[in-house]
A and B are shown apart, each in its own frame.
Chain A
Amino acid sequence: MVSWLPWPVIRERNFVKEHFIFVGKQAVRMVLLVFFVSLAAFVLVSVSPLDPLQANVGQAALGSMSQEQIAKLQTYWGVDEPPVERFLAWAGDFFRGDMGLSLLYRQPVAKVIGVKLANSLWLMAIAWILSGAVGFVLGILAGLREGSLLDKVIKGYSLLIASTPAFWLALVLLMIFAVWLKVLPIGLSVPIGVEAAGVTVADRIQHAILPAITLSITGIANITLHTREKMVEIMESDYVLFARARGESTFSIVKNHVLRNVLLPALTLQFAAISEIFGGSVLVEQTFSYPGLGQAAVTAGLGSDVPLLLGITVISALFVFGGNLIANILYGVIDPRIRRGGAGA
């Protein structure tokens, strides 16, 4: 095309376009993955030898029932249909927004999940933001002064927290703040014996403090260690050395040269950590008897409430993959090559 030039022309890469294609591919991949997650989950609950009738009605009661009654119950719990038909029917309905009926709560699964998710969501959101922000700052502080006392304390703390099960931490905090100091309630999301209308926002906040703190503390370790590692690496780089030689202060080095480079991997990690927070919330909610999604998952699993268990699995997978997708999109917002590509090229 322009071959008369004496030098080879390198076509400028269009980072914006490349990024859009990349994100599009990821989105398609995410939809497929959610489908496969639901399939895998369905296969798992289908091969289960657990009989929902045994679990919820009990051997003694079953023995005293007539054949017709048992058949009726079998239809209710869906034991008599072949698995493939069940999956197709379930997935089809799910796609249309009908997640089926929760067998334990006797309400539509969508409604149960909606109520529980609302309880869990702000708990998880607080923990996610708090652990991300605190972990990031701690990681930067530790990485700035590698080998100092502060670094050792932060690193030791992170390693210790990474080795602590969330539910035990919850128990210890309960022991200190609810049983010993008696400053915070011992469980649930609202006070006992108060009408739904009488529950104030202050009540709700008070009941969410301990679970949120527990979740935040356990979430900090990973992001701190990761940020610290990255920080150490960057502080040893040539461009930081050069900035130092130019006489920039540590603060301006961090602000101008380091922050963005550390922020990118940290954000990716934090979005990938949604899965961890979800898992942690199962344990923490169970310990605090906090009526959220995690506790519903445990109840559903123990009580053989298959539609609810499947619904929660798919919803949580949506969150996990959604988090990954957002991380991919954010890459474009923060990475200057992609951001400036639109204006420059």
Chain B
Amino acid sequence: MKHLNGRMAAVFLFGLAVLFLAAVTAAGWGFEEEALVTDFSRKNLEPCGQYLFGTDWLGRDMFIRTLTGLSMSIRIGLLAAGVSSVLALILGTLAATMGKTVDGVITWLIDLVMGIPHILLLILISYALGKGFKGVVIGVALTHWTSLARVIRGEVLQLKEALFIRTAQKLGATKFEIVWKHMLPHLFPQFLVGLILTFPHAILHEASITFLGFGLPPEQPAIGIILSESMKYLAMGRWWLALFPGLLLVFTVVLFDVAGESLRRLLDPGSAHR
């Protein structure tokens, strides 16, 4: 990649990451039926050419199960990160523009959410919603907005002092018009990067909470379920049940990070010359 400059490399990495993630999501979606197929003639096979990740004690193909699980995780992550980022955008902007009281309440709310360890909060929310699918999605969606909200709040506070905002104020634009027309376009890059960098957290937390037994039901081929089941077979030497699904999960999360970071580099005017 010697002849690629920094920006072209970033575009390349971003495209590659997005492509891979889309492929995994689509493949997992398509394989949903196959992931549940049990076949006792092929139980406990070690990884081989036909079954890349081996098979489990019910003869289920671990590669397909992993893909399906990851696809599910990515979709939950997308939904959760989307909801969380929009929440962060709204709350961050409100805190910075609606005066001291609103600011105080929202900052307070951020401190409150950050005060309970994340996993514990997810357990509480999942418990409040009666566990299961709903509990995970809502829990993950409602808890990832805090740090992005802080960033957005800071950004808007700075923007408020900018000349073009003050000019707009003097010209009689309403608060809503200023936010909508003049601030949001400025916040968009921050927002987009924040959105993508929320995915990894959302996915990891979804897997963790499912692993602990609060999330998706056990019949679902979710990545947390796969790993928690593999725990029982670890002592018997079935290493492949835990190793490969986890590796693919880590790879997926790293890719999201890569995508977010390259996008940040592309959108940051300070690095335009590289």
Residues of chain A touching chain B, judged by Cβ–Cβ distance below 8 Å, are: 29, 33-34, 36-37, 40-41, 43-45, 47-50, 159-160, 162-168, 171-172, 174-175, 179-180, 186, 275-276, 278-279, 282-283, 286-287, 294, 297-298, 301-302, 304, 309, 312-313, 316-317, 320-321
Q: CA separation between A301 and B123, bound complex, in Å?
A: 7
CB proximity of A228 to chain B, nearest CB, Å: 15
Q: CA separation between A37 and B117, bound complex, in Å?
A: 11
A301 closest partner in B (C-beta): B123
Q: Determine the chain A residues whose CB is within 8 A of the CB of B51 once the complex forms.
A: none
Instruction: Say whether A312 contacts B120, CB under 8 Å.
Output: yes
Instruction: Say whether B212 contacts A283, CB under 8 Å.
Output: yes
Residues 216-266 of B contacting A (Cβ, < 8 Å): 227, 230-231, 234-235, 237, 239, 242-243, 246, 249-250, 253-254, 257
Instruction: Say whether B124 contacts A167, CB under 8 Å.
Output: no
Instruction: Judge if B200 is at the interface, Cβ distance under 8 Å.
Output: yes
Instruction: Say whether B234 contacts A168, CB under 8 Å.
Output: no
Residues of chain B touching chain A, judged by Cβ–Cβ distance below 8 Å, are: 108, 111-112, 114-120, 123-131, 200, 204, 207-208, 211-214, 227, 230-231, 234-235, 237, 239, 242-243, 246, 249-250, 253-254, 257
Instruction: Say whether B117 contacts A316, CB under 8 Å.
Output: yes
CB proximity of A318 to chain B, nearest CB, Å: 9
Known interface pairs A167-B208, A172-B242; A279-B254 also in contact (CB < 8 Å):
no
Q: CA separation between A298 and B122, bound complex, in Å?
A: 11
Instruction: Say whether B227 contacts A168, CB under 8 Å.
Output: yes
Instruction: Say whether A301 contacts B127, CB under 8 Å.
Output: yes
B124 closest partner in A (C-beta): A44
Instruction: Say whether B243 contacts A279, CB under 8 Å.
Output: no
Q: CA separation between A279 and B126, bound complex, in Å?
A: 15
CB proximity of B29 to chain A, nearest CB, Å: 23
Q: Determine the chain A residues whose CB is within 8 A of the CB of B120 once the complex forms.
A: 278-279, 282, 297, 312-313, 316
Q: CA separation between A49 and B127, bound complex, in Å?
A: 8
Instruction: Say whether A282 contacts B212, CB under 8 Å.
Output: yes
Q: CA separation between A209 and B238, bound complex, in Å?
A: 23
CB proximity of A133 to chain B, nearest CB, Å: 22
Q: Determine the chain A residues whose CB is within 8 A of the CB of B207 once the complex forms.
A: 165
Q: Determine the chain B residues whose CB is within 8 A of the CB of A317 once the complex forms.
A: 115-116
Q: CA separation between A47 and B127, bound complex, in Å?
A: 9
CB proximity of A187 to chain B, nearest CB, Å: 9
B131 closest partner in A (C-beta): A50
Instruction: Say whether A298 contacts B212, CB under 8 Å.
Output: yes
Instruction: Say whether A278 contacts B130, CB under 8 Å.
Output: no
Instruction: Say whether B231 contacts A287, CB under 8 Å.
Output: yes
- Majority secondary structure, B binding face: helix
22 cross-chain CB contacts under 8 A: A33-B111, A33-B112, A36-B112, A41-B124, A44-B125, A44-B128, A45-B127, A48-B127, A164-B250, A165-B207, A171-B227, A171-B230, A172-B246, A175-B239, A179-B239, A275-B116, A278-B117, A282-B119, A301-B214, A316-B116, A320-B116, A321-B115
A171 closest partner in B (C-beta): B242
Q: Determine the chain B residues whose CB is within 8 A of the CB of A33 once the complex forms.
A: 108, 111-112, 115
B130 closest partner in A (C-beta): A49
CB proximity of B236 to chain A, nearest CB, Å: 9
The 10 closest A-B pairs by CB, nearest first: A163-B253, A168-B246, A278-B117, A279-B119, A44-B128, A279-B117, A49-B130, A301-B123, A44-B124, A282-B119
A47 closest partner in B (C-beta): B128
Which of A43, A165, A179, A276 is within 8 Å of B208, CB to CB?
A165
CB proximity of A198 to chain B, nearest CB, Å: 24
Instruction: Say whether A175 contacts B208, CB under 8 Å.
Output: no
Instruction: Say whether A37 contacts B130, CB under 8 Å.
Output: no
Instruction: Say whether B234 contacts A40, CB under 8 Å.
Output: no
Q: CA separation between A172 and B239, bound complex, in Å?
A: 9
Instruction: Say whether B230 contacts A179, CB under 8 Å.
Output: no
Known interface pairs A45-B128, A175-B239, A302-B213; A283-B208 also in contact (CB < 8 Å):
yes
Which of B112, B237, B249 is within 8 Å of A168, CB to CB?
B249
A287 closest partner in B (C-beta): B231
A49 closest partner in B (C-beta): B130
Q: CA separation between A40 and B127, bound complex, in Å?
A: 13
Instruction: Say whether B200 contacts A171, CB under 8 Å.
Output: no
Instruction: Say whether B243 contacts A275, CB under 8 Å.
Output: no
Q: Determine the chain A residues whose CB is within 8 A of the CB of B123 once the complex forms.
A: 282, 297-298, 301, 309
Q: Determine the chain B residues whose CB is within 8 A of the CB of A180 once the complex forms.
A: 239
Q: Determine the chain A residues whose CB is within 8 A of the CB of B257 once the complex forms.
A: 159, 162-163
